Amino acid sequence: MTASMASGIVCNFGTMTKPLHVGLAARNGVVAAKLAQSGYTANGQALEAGLGFYDVYYRAVAVEEGPIGELGGSYELVGKGIRIKPYPCGGLAHPAIDAVLEIRAQHGITAETVETIDVEVTKHTYNRIAFRIPQTGLQGKFSMGYLLARAVIDGKISLDAFTDSAVRDASVLRLAERVHMRLDPNLRSSGEGSRPCKVTVRLRTGQAYSRQVEHAKGSREVPMSAQYVERLETLEDIRPLCQLLGA
């Protein structure tokens, strides 16, 4: 946990500390702003100065001053918006989930009809969706085999899928064993928010269905439909919605 507190690290994906990364970053940003507002001082060149951020963490790399000059001038949330996650799991697996759910809906595939599911991904995804067969619910969020097996069997990915007992479901694990994720060096991100993958579902009959997905549902390129929030004002009681949002 202390290692992640110094700087978020990928090896803590699949543990409770993974979401702590962004929580700590948000908290520290607020604390720093409040301290500055109260007159607290610091070195104004702490990023680029000798023995500063770059010098400590990237000693062999030349300082890129372009991004530093942009600080305070543009904001990701304003310029690029937010990415809504329709599935409560690792976002890098979302394009593959989208592909499997589409194939399932169009061709009526079931766990019994599937021979194998092959998933080709980028190095970035391959290094982070790292658990072959999960041992805990948190690991299930970063297991391509488990996620796609759930997508085929349940037709959705819900919070109920990420309990420790859920990841021990024998029928799901049998299908998860037939999911093979491979690194494809030819897959390249086409820009900000691009998470390309190619999914091929092969059936016991010999048929095969493939989908290549560039952007996940919920991104600016593939926005959620209005159905996601429509009729919100007609709810008699918002407590069920609050319970869902609070997990």
What pTM was computed for the model?
A: 0.83
Instruction: Kindly report, residue by residue over 172-224, the tens digit of the pLDDT.
Output: 999 999 999 999 999 988 777 789 999 999 999 999 999 999 999 998 889 88
Type of residue numbered 11 = C
Instruction: Kindly report, residue by residue over 6-38, the tens digit of the pLDDT.
Output: 888 999 999 999 999 999 999 999 999 999 999
User: Does residue 6 sit in helix, strand or coil?
Assistant: helix
Instruction: Kindly report, residue by residue over 114-143, the tens digit of the pLDDT.
Output: 999 999 999 999 999 999 999 999 999 999
The residue whose two tokens read 């009729």 is 231
Say yes or no: 203 and 99 in one domain: yes
User: Within 13 Å and on the Cβ side, how many CA atoms surround 101?
Assistant: 18
Looking at 79, 100, 119, the residue that finishes a domain is 79
Is 48 inside any structural domain? yes
Question: Residue 166's domain is classified under what CATH number?
Answer: 3.30.1330.120
The tally of domains found in the chain comes to: 2
- Its domain, for residue 209, covers 91-213
Res. 83: pLDDT tops 80: yes
